[in-house]
Structure 1
Amino acid sequence: MGDQDEVSLAVSSLRSRFEQLAAGSGLKSSADAPPLSPRPGGTFPRARAASNNSLTVDSTIHALRASSSSSDLKSPVSDVLDLKSAALKRPPPPPPTRAKPSVSPAPSPLTRPVPLPPSASNGNGNGNAARPGDREMQPGDLASTKGPFYGGSALRSTSMSISKPPVPPVPPRPTFMISESPENGSSRQRRSESPLGFAEREAETQAASPPKLSRSNSNPVEDLDYTTDPSSPSPAPPPAPPPRSSRPGLPPPPPRHRTSRSPQPDAPSNSNLPPPLPHRRPTVPYLAPPENRSSPSPRRSTMAKPAIAQPLPETPSDSSSPSPNGDRKPLSKFQPPPTRTIALGDKLPAARRAAEGSSDDEEGPEEDASAASRIVDTIPDSSSSSRRLPTLSFRPGFPPPQLRFHPHSGCVIASGPNLVVSHVHHIKIYNLEISDAPLYDLDMKQLGMKDTKVLSMEFSPSMNKADRGAIVWMGTKDGSILEMDIRSGALTATKPSAHLHPVCQMFRHGRSMVSLDESGKALIFSPDPEHPEQDVSLTYTTPRAVRTTDKMDFVKLLDGKLWTASRTEHSGGGSLGRVVPIIRVFDIFNTAAPGKSIMPSEHCGQVTSATILPTEPDRVYMGHEEGYVSIWNLDTEDGWPSCTEVTKVSTSDIMCLEGVNERLWAGSRNGLISAYDVRQTPWIMTNQWQAHNAYPVLKIFVNFRAIETNQKLCVVSLGRDELVKLWDGLLGVDWVENELVKNESSFSTFQDINALVVSWNCDAARPESLNDGGRNAEFFADVFSSVNTPPDIISFSFQEVIDLESRKMAAKNMLLGGKKKDDALSDRVTGAYKRWHDKFVSVVKAAFGPLGVEYTAVLTESMVGLFSCLFVRNTNEFVCREKHIAAIKRGMGGRYGNKGAVIARVVIGDSSLCFINCHLAAGQHAIKQRNSDIAAILEEKGIFEPSPLETAYVRGGDGTMVLDHEFVLVNGDLNYRIDVTRRETYLSSFRSGDLSNLLAHDQLLQQMRNNKTFRLRGFSEGPITFLPTYKYDPRSDEYDTSEKRRHPAWCDRILWKAREADRMQQLSYKRYEVNVSDHRPISATFVIRVKNIQTEARERAKAIVEAAWADEQMRILDSAQKFYVRQALM
């Protein structure tokens, strides 16, 4: 009984201790009770995942643990004592009252673990080793009694050596804010926790939930394992806290940032609570917030944040938490403007001055050009393109035929001189060698096929040469296929219901025929291999079915493969998310090869057409909307096409493409057909003409049978204007005209005329400012002395005649600057222009009147600062005709004339001259905008009325465009700068007189030298031997000394272009020292050789050239025929 009494006394002592702890009284430790494992700061143990078995248990260290069975007490009366102790003990007190719902004691498994402090490690990485400063667990500590009375829990001691240093005084320990884990789905409130409350909830969770919870503690302490045996009885759990919402089954949340913690005021002392635990350094650095200052805003995060029910103390922003504006993209690269408040009745502030006004505007975004500017730098050069119409007729001496078709439901095919045009149930058959009227105008009702609608047609192949181009297969809306002989206009065979859907396409490849319906089903009619001498028969040949794709917007048979595309798009990826079309290629003649989807390498519009160039049979050129052309290589390892390049060739949609001889023909939405030479990079537009009266060009195809039957390379175009046009694919008219130009001296006489061009940006200076004596007064005298003889033409080109920065003057020009009905300009607006006009008249008369030479101002025009005045000498030596002048606006997107050009045109003899007074975009970095301005000026269409003098213009032009003229002079304030930033470089070059270093960095010369798409690339300029003309301080010889200190530059330039370079020579190129403006004026003199054509001699020379063309034509046709045979089209 001694042993039994000893065991009973131990159990009673244990029960009494728990009761004393529950009542709030302190407990005295037993002398023989082994101490528990020390823990830093005296913190309580927390649950550990069952999978963590890294802790080892030393059998020599004993600790109290809960008993799940009586066998663990190792006493024969353990069962009785266990039941007795359970009956005598009092239930634990209820948890303290909480106004807020409790926070889950199991933080998210994704919570970042807090590293151990340096004091928790002994240097070998073992977290279980003894640490200095740790104290022994006191009997009154919570951890000493937690294990035995929390159901199913067992306290395991770790293997470690225990040291007993002096116990330091116990400072108060602050509580921490525990943030809600995002795995609970919804945001919850934060609240402070006491160690006891946390322990109580821990016990409740373990008792109520049999499955073990894997929890992580953010405190830098060791973890102990708790196990639960659900088979054993456990004492009644304490009252459960308020229920917690949970949302099981949700996907794991994304990683979250470290939780910010802030200390809370210490809880008031209570004799019923255990002694406070020692103070522990917080794991997150904490700085006291400044007084009377709001805390920094938290950064924007993608995680859900818990809702705060009560205001929290100010906490510093954690480095891992982004600020709300940190991830927000700025709307502009500039700071937002300051806000201001205007009270009622206050005077409104002055309006901001427009940024675009003066040429002195140096500031602005570097190369921040518009989309139009970027497009201009990529499209082919059209400055040398011919505008002649390459018309074709099968009847010599007759005009080209005018055939009509229905653009929406019509179909047109051609074979030699034969054309077949269908529209629903009508069919018209033409023989253009005989007449432009149809030979047969058939109705399907007359042919016994009532209500039959023809949707597609194609000529069938034949071994019999007489039948080639005479037998037509037609696909109908009801899925039938018809065969017709166009020589008699009768149906020869039918195949009813060959398809279940409308037959939308018919193709020919070699000796095979292919029909395709709207569902994507293709029928291939091929000759019988056992009887290769027999042609395919609609009646007797059994077709092979091939399934392709449905909903096709583009279909074409190229190189034996069927290319299809639809409106479906695919995101090409990348930061911009460009959209590219999906193209499907089917090798329909290879039964073992399935189709394949391919995509362009870059962004481009929807597919509209595709073709193969005869000179490059290994490439496919595919046209797209938005003006793009993609290039596909056919010679690949796997045999499937691959995209090698995407280029933009037009600002308009590419409606159709066709490879014709050496040129790639493209039809656009504005009715133009353009021919490109693709052998050079970038491409060159060699020809462009208006084919369909500004209506879209729907289709272009080659009538290759005409090569064999008529020795012509006939190209057919269909337009939305319901017209069928025939064109010469060899562009023979251009070949003949170019040969005539080479021999022009044999039928023309020439005459030299002198031209003087003066350009000056006068900066709103008045003519009276030149009357102050000295060099200013001698300005015009110096200009006229630069020529040895009185010039035949004098051109004055002034810029900024009015103050462009004056809002009052700008408003007048915008509102009152229009012409009156009598073609006279408003006096209120043009006062400055009139003063300069009178000045020009007076100085010309004063300079050349004493010599007996008189001049007439034949052309005068102004436009918001630009002013042009053209004088022609009164003489009988030549006749000046076709005098016209116009203006092109380029400021504010073409709506304002502060930037742009005034263009004057005259015809002397049989040569046309064009003078352009320019003022381009300002700014050191606005190179692309200047390039865009000059390209728009040179390529503007319809500037002048068409001229009947065909021989006076070049490349088949009619004088409506700038580059139609034989001689073109561009002068004015072009605003191209020098890319040298160091002012010392300028000064050293000026002192030494060596300008070559500065000229090497001149933007205009660099563009002419390096930019292949620059529209002034074909122009010439004389050598520059004078100092930069911009920018001076007015009334001084010093370059800009203002705050901006703009760099000097040759902004004022004179350039020229002639069809024959040896017919225009520059005699002088100089500047003048007039200091009333920030620009210096310049002038240039030229000798221009104009021609006078002898008509009869020209006709004889033309006959000789046309005979030579006949031989060249046969050579080209033979090469083209071989290509179409290789492509299995003939």
Structure 2
Amino acid sequence: MASFERLRQIWEDRTPGELEQLQKPILNEAPPRPPISTKPSKSSYSSESLPTLSKHRRAPPEPPTSRLAPPIPPKHTKASFSSDNLHQRPTATPSPSPNPYLVERSHTAIPSNSSATLSNNGYSSESDEDEFYVDDSSVAGPQARRAPSILPDVSHANRRAPKLKLYHSVSSKGHFFSAASSNNFVVTGSHHLRIYDASNSNNSDVPFFESPDKDTRITSITFKQSNGSVFWGGTKDGSLFEMDAIDGTCFDWKTYEHSGAIIGIWRLNNHMISLDDAGVLKVWLPVTHSDGSVIPTLKSPTKLFRINSDITFANFLGDKLWLASSTSLSADPNVVKTITLRVYDPIGATYGGQLNLTPNPLIPSSTVQQLAVTSGTVIPSVPDKIYLGHQGGFVSVWNGKDFTFLGALKVSSTQVDALAGVGGYLWAGFHSGRINVLDTNQGSMTDWRVVQTWQAHKEKVLSIQVDTALLETGMLAVITTGADWNVNYWDGMLKTAHVSTELQNRENTFCSFTPVNLLIVSWNTDASKPSDLIDSHKSGFFSKSSNTNNDNSSFLRKALSSTESPDIIVFGFQELIDLEDKKLTAKTMLLPKKKADSALSERISHSYRLWYDHLVMEVERNMPKSSPYVVLHAENLVGLFTCIFVRKENRENLADVAITTVKTGLKGRYGNKGAIISRFVLDDSSFCFINCHLAAGQKHTKQRNQDLVSILEEKVAFANDPVRSELSYVNGGDGSSVFDHETTFLNGDLNYRVDLRREAVLPAITKSNFEYLLNHDQLNKQMETNAQFKLRDFKEPPITYAPTYKYDRKTNVYDTSDKRRTPAWCDRILSRTVHLPRVSNLHYKRYEVNVSDHRPISAAFQVQTKKIDHAKRSNVLLDVENEFGSIFAETINDEKRYYEYK
């Protein structure tokens, strides 16, 4: 078992490599299908002498009334994969007409072994500096390897759940093995079959029909028509039945129709298809009824096929059946099994065509070769691409015509359990219960981004499906089921998110703005104390350069006067305690406060208190007495220290004041790096400030990137802090996440280095050739070449000063120790805003303080804060909703054409 777990970890952590498809499948055109109609006919059914699931039925609910179509976002064009990191493949010519077959997935979850994604965030300590090394991990190309922890960009994702107001969640009375919905009906199957009315606000959780039979386990349910109420069900013993969801009438029951458990039922145009776990596939042919409708029943003729019985995943994607199996390619029992895929065309085979379109099974690339397939889908606007979800959080993409492998991408740190293509986007449900809506139309797979994310279920997501019946009412309704045994309705249009984004773009029409000046001072003190700034001046020791020790004692005075009358002053310090003091660092990281040595605890508290008192004194001494400042925030974390001052007159205008900490390194529990994150709302504008210390070491770019992921994507940073001004946050957020804030500032010892040898850097510094050095700066390179770098949306003012690290203490000489570290701009200040013109930089500079091995820096900004006129905003909101109406209607029509619903 240990060997298996180790191999699984290796495969989960691998990155997209060379295309390893063994052979291309052979495609045969199936003969033409006979013309078929989709008209239903209830007159052909009879319930006489047929078994029923219950003798007790309640009165049927009233059918839902017609509703107007909600808006839909602009439709995306077909995705185009660039050659970056992907192998060349044949070009798929889009079909000019919609998919000729209506496909309804079987609403059955085929169990698969879950696999926890392993990660190791540990890295060496601050003192573990490495020799010169050029990190080219982010460079695009066939050989490029991507860090497995880097996921699609979520920084601009809307975080508000897209609830569908007219329908209500159904909380099942117990667990279920399958579920399906049509119109307002929700059907769940387990040892009981239950039917709910989701349009009933008072009793949506109470089934109006429930079968009393406990001996029959229902494993699969599918509605027979896209807009009908009749559904087929399959059982564990291989039986099939047909019922009406309106009143629970059972039209037919076929006992032991299959020899094994039914694992899938699908509708494909006018055919019904059933599959059991023994690999027996039945195609139910349509028959003509007295009213002229052509539709299959359980008495229809069937065509039987035998396919592979080792099935771990089965679903119709497009008009083909995709099966996944787990196969051992070696006689060695210790070798992990490989995933193989087969594609079948049962309808084509019914009319004389080829059944198995892949005589040689498809084998994914090494990235997902050992990761079981859990789900699959097609995006209606991109019908020629097949998306498969895998354990380990990966999605693989395949050509739907020639079945070639196009690539794989890790989209989550938890397992992908469900996929669905909705409105031009890829919906992905995860083991955590979250759903991400991914925009896959951004060129290469590495450019995928998350447009919306929310916690959809308390437990893992079991299925995601489109309710095709509700398309007639103008709704694109998405129904999800979860292991919390809830069935939830979501707005597939994502109307709220798109309207919110458009309102942000039009804020100038209903907001007034006030300029606010802001000063940020960042410094890695190297465990210096405030007295060191003063004592060095009094001692009069000789510096090795022309500057005098007055730079130390005057540092804070110069910083505070670097910009005129700042409204907000932020001090972000790092290493206020000695991180190389093993006893001190270990105890602060590993021991709870109540167990820590009292003297040691006092020593730590004393260090922070000294700086707090000193900063308060310097602000009082150097800032105008007529406009005093008050401390808004003061927090510390393993050497980090944040202290924020605001003008006293502005304090009453602040809301939602909160502060929190995030540890990184050693899986985020005991690390000696991390961040202090603070926030507040001024007028109607939200601010977030991050003071951080990232992984050290010339070679550790990936660890620094991972630290940023841990800090910036902390989903519950302010989860326990209530907010009073939701309109102050962006992307539908509620202020619980960093990316919910309108303007964010990040400062600290980011530890990104210069990828040049020391011998090349020092002469360039002497000549002030900083542009040359910055071209080799790791932070700049990540921003330019790494599409998924978490600081890519942040902006940094131009650097016009020499590198701030690493100096011999109390000198102006770069490191002369045995390690002779290469000078670098480790200390940085960056900003991020959803409205770039509203933030302008006033200065970005360094100070010649020599009591630390880092030089302090400061940056000043002017930010335009907004005040909302709510009456004007309401009028603009109406205009936006009206404008989106026609776009939403177009998307509804596109969805109808794909599902052949006219």
TM-score (norm. length: structure 1): 0.63
Give the CA deviation at 1:808: 3.0
Deviations 1:554-599 (A, max 9, x none): 22122222222244454799xx987531222221112341323322
- The residue aligned with 1:593 is 354
Give the CA deviation at 1:386: 1.1
- 1:934 is paired with a residue whose SS is helix
- The residue aligned with 2:677 is 903
Distance 1:454 1:1046, change over 3 A: closer
Say if 2:660 and 2:678, in contact at 8 Å, map to a contact too. Answer: yes
Deviations 1:116-136 (A, max 9, x none): xxxxxxxxxxxxxxxxxxxxx
2:660 to 886, 907, 911: 886
What code does the residue aligned with 2:170 have? Q
What code does the residue aligned with 1:362 have? D
Give the CA deviation at 1:882: 2.0
**Given the alignment of the two structures, is residue 686 of structure 1 paired with residue 460 of structure 2, yes or no?**
no
Deviations 1:862-908 (A, max 9, x none): 11211111111101586122222221111333233421111111211
- 2:278 is paired with a residue whose SS is coil
- The residue aligned with 2:783 is 1008
- The residue aligned with 1:629 is 395
What code does the residue aligned with 1:606 have? A
1:657 to 419, 427, 430: 419
Alignment partners' CA distance in 1, 2:200 and 2:474: 13
Deviations 1:516-547 (A, max 9, x none): 22222122111259999442343542111111
- For residues 609-620 of structure 1, the aligned pairs below 5 Å read 609-620=375-386
- 2:882 is paired with a residue whose SS is helix
Say if 2:244 and 2:251, in contact at 8 Å, map to a contact too. Answer: yes
- The residue aligned with 1:481 is 240
Alignment partners' CA distance in 2, 1:844 and 1:431: 61
Give the CA deviation at 1:491: 1.6
- The residue aligned with 1:718 is 481
Say if 2:123 and 2:666, in contact at 8 Å, map to a contact too. Answer: no
- 2:300 is paired with a residue whose SS is coil
- The residue aligned with 2:284 is 525
Alignment partners' CA distance in 2, 1:488 and 1:899: 62
- 1:1007 is paired with a residue whose SS is helix
Deviations 1:28-77 (A, max 9, x none): xxxxxxxxxxxxxxxxxxxxxxxxxxxxxxxxxxxxxxxxxxxxxxxxxx
Identity, in percent, stands at 39
- The residue aligned with 2:222 is 458
Deviations 1:373-424 (A, max 9, x none): 95456421111111011001336xxxx33332644x4322112233222332
Deviations 1:226-273 (A, max 9, x none): xxxxxxxxxxxxxxxxxxxxxxxxxxxxxxxxxxxxxxxxxxxxxxxx
Say if 1:917 and 1:972, in contact at 8 Å, map to a contact too. Answer: yes
Alignment partners' CA distance in 2, 1:800 and 1:539: 74
Alignment partners' CA distance in 2, 1:819 and 1:385: 40
2:165 to 388, 393, 400: 393
Give the CA deviation at 1:759: 0.6
Give the CA deviation at 1:743: 1.6
- The residue aligned with 1:833 is 608
- The residue aligned with 1:269 is none
**Given the alignment of the two structures, is residue 970 of structure 1 paired with residue 746 of structure 2, yes or no?**
yes
2:619 to 828, 836, 844: 844
**Given the alignment of the two structures, is residue 497 of structure 1 paired with residue 256 of structure 2, yes or no?**
yes
Give the CA deviation at 1:452: 4.1
Alignment partners' CA distance in 1, 2:516 and 2:408: 48
Larger strand proportion, structure 1 or 2? 2
2:153 to 351, 356, 381: 381
Give the CA deviation at 1:687: 1.0
Structure 2 residue ranges without an equivalent (≥5): 1-121, 138-144, 538-549
What code does the residue aligned with 1:776 have? N
Over aligned residue pairs, what C-alpha RMSD do you find?
3.0
Distance 1:749 1:567, change over 3 A: same
Structure 1 residue ranges without an equivalent (≥5): 1-353, 463-467
Give the CA deviation at 1:746: 2.3
What code does the residue aligned with 1:852 have? S
Say if 1:910 and 1:1091, in contact at 8 Å, map to a contact too. Answer: yes
Aligned length in residues: 746
- The residue aligned with 2:631 is 857
Say if 2:584 and 2:600, in contact at 8 Å, map to a contact too. Answer: no
Alignment partners' CA distance in 1, 2:331 and 2:400: 22
Give the CA deviation at 1:644: 1.9
- The residue aligned with 1:1041 is 816
Alignment partners' CA distance in 1, 2:163 and 2:300: 41
Say if 2:590 and 2:670, in contact at 8 Å, map to a contact too. Answer: no
Distance 1:577 1:1012, change over 3 A: farther
**Given the alignment of the two structures, is residue 606 of structure 1 paired with residue 369 of structure 2, yes or no?**
no
- For residues 391-790 of structure 1, the aligned pairs below 5 Å read 391-394=163-166, 400-404=168-172, 406-407=174-175, 409-430=176-197, 432=199, 436-437=203-204, 441-444=208-211, 451-461=215-225, 468-528=227-287, 533-538=292-297, 540-570=299-329, 580-591=338-349, 592-595=353-356, 596=358, 597-604=361-368, 605-636=371-402, 641-680=403-442, 681=444, 682=446, 683-693=448-458, 695-708=459-472, 710-771=473-534, 772-773=536-537, 774-788=550-564, 790=565
Say if 2:230 and 2:243, in contact at 8 Å, map to a contact too. Answer: yes
Alignment partners' CA distance in 1, 2:323 and 2:272: 18
Alignment partners' CA distance in 2, 1:1120 and 1:1106: 21
Alignment partners' CA distance in 1, 2:169 and 2:726: 23
Say if 1:817 and 1:825, in contact at 8 Å, map to a contact too. Answer: no
Alignment partners' CA distance in 2, 1:1078 and 1:786: 23
Alignment partners' CA distance in 1, 2:159 and 2:390: 24
Say if 1:571 and 1:580, in contact at 8 Å, map to a contact too. Answer: no
Alignment partners' CA distance in 1, 2:242 and 2:399: 37
Moved more, 802-811 or 728-737: 802-811
Deviations 1:910-929 (A, max 9, x none): 11111111111111111111
What code does the residue aligned with 1:624 have? H
What code does the residue aligned with 1:381 have? D
- 2:899 is paired with a residue whose SS is helix
Alignment partners' CA distance in 2, 1:623 and 1:1028: 46
Say if 2:187 and 2:193, in contact at 8 Å, map to a contact too. Answer: no
- 2:649 is paired with a residue whose SS is coil
Give the CA deviation at 1:470: 2.0
Alignment partners' CA distance in 2, 1:434 and 1:382: 34
- 1:830 is paired with a residue whose SS is helix
1:1065 to 820, 840, 844: 840
Distance 1:531 1:593, change over 3 A: farther
Alignment partners' CA distance in 2, 1:487 and 1:522: 29
- 1:856 is paired with a residue whose SS is strand
- The residue aligned with 1:164 is none
Distance 1:374 1:416, change over 3 A: same
Moved more, 1089-1098 or 950-959: 1089-1098
Deviations 1:68-94 (A, max 9, x none): xxxxxxxxxxxxxxxxxxxxxxxxxxx
Alignment partners' CA distance in 1, 2:557 and 2:514: 28
Say if 2:284 and 2:298, in contact at 8 Å, map to a contact too. Answer: no
Alignment partners' CA distance in 2, 1:499 and 1:579: 29
Which structure has the greater CA radius of gyration?
1
- The residue aligned with 1:1117 is 892
Say if 1:506 and 1:513, in contact at 8 Å, map to a contact too. Answer: yes
Alignment partners' CA distance in 1, 2:217 and 2:807: 77
Distance 1:1067 1:539, change over 3 A: closer
1:1027 to 790, 802, 805: 802
- The residue aligned with 2:647 is 873
Say if 1:418 and 1:431, in contact at 8 Å, map to a contact too. Answer: yes
Give the CA deviation at 1:854: 1.1
What code does the residue aligned with 1:379 have? L
Give the CA deviation at 1:612: 0.5
Distance 1:571 1:405, change over 3 A: farther
Alignment partners' CA distance in 1, 2:185 and 2:611: 66
